[in-house]
Every structure is written in structure tokens, then in C-alpha cells.
Amino acid sequence: MSLKARITDDMKTAMRAKDGERLGTIRMLLAAVKQKEVDERVEVDDTQLVGIVDKLIKQRKDAIEQFRTAGRQDLVDKETAEVAVLEVYLPERLSAAALEAAVAAIVTELGAKGPADMGKVMAAVKSRLAGQADMGLASATVKKALSS
């Protein structure tokens, strides 16, 4: 079953269970998928869908920081609940050690040396590890690998 079909089934389940918060988050995700399909005139595959989920989670985490700074705990709770719903659709995340090993392998494969090759390495990391690793953490790992 494709990830998109699974999300649609989860939406139907949330409708039957009258779970409004979960339903709203899933509808928001499907709207983002539809927007990408319409804008780019493509059928979104599982890899692209994981990218969309990752982007939405990043947006929610940024909003959580903003709301926490503003003292809006009600909105922090709402965004945190949305992140929990969205994270279900991501593949299992790599551990820090596995991420370091994957980055080291990519750096070796590309023959990257020094910070000047950061863009080239990050492009490869994004394509291979999309959804499997937090790209902020991956970026820090690449910087560390290229500086040593």
C-alpha cells in the first residue's frame, strides 16, 4: 500500500472515530500533497510525500518555538499534537551513529574535501536520506565530517 493510500485510509478512520484534531492534521497534509501535485503537474510518490511530511513537521517545530517564546501554551500543545500525527508517516529515523556513518560514506564516495564541498555533499545527503534523518542534524554532521 502506498503512503498516500495509507494516509487516505487514516483520514477515513479518523472521520469514523470523529477524531477532529487528527482529521484536521491529515486533511492539511493531503492539501499540501494536492497543492504540490497541482503546482508541479506530477503524481506525488512516496519519496516526495515523505519530503512534504518532513517540511510540515519542520514548520510545526518552528511554530512551537515561536509560540513558546510568546507564552502561548495552548498553541504549543496544538502544534505538538500535529507533529505527533505527522511523524507516523515518516520512515524510522537514523540514529546519530548511523547518520555519521552514512555521511562519512557519502563524503568518501564523492571525494569531498573541506567546507567548499558542503553543497555537493548536502545534495547527496538530502536525496539519499530524505525522511530518514533530520536535515538540520545532517547538516551539522556534514560540517563536522568536512572540517576533520
Domain with CATH 1.10.10.410 in the chain: 96-147
Q: In terms of pTM, does the model score above 0.95?
A: no
pLDDT value of position 116: 79
pLDDT value of position 68: 95
CA distance linking residue 32 with residue 83, whole number of Å: 15
CATH 3.40.50.920 is held by the domain 3-87:
no
- Percent of the chain at pLDDT exceeding 70: 100
For the segment(s) 96-147, the CATH number from 1.10.10.10, 1.10.3080.10, 1.10.10.410, 3.40.630.30 is 1.10.10.410
pLDDT value of position 19: 92
The CA-atom distances, in angstroms, between 94 and each of 14, 116, 117 are 29, 26, 23
φ, ψ (nearest 5 deg) of residue 72:
-100, 80
Domain with CATH 1.10.1510.10 in the chain: 3-87
Q: Are 127 and 92 in contact (CB under 8 A)?
A: no
Residue 117 DSSP class: G
List, for residues 46-95, the tens digit of each pLDDT value: 888 988 998 999 999 999 999 999 999 999 999 999 999 999 998 888 88
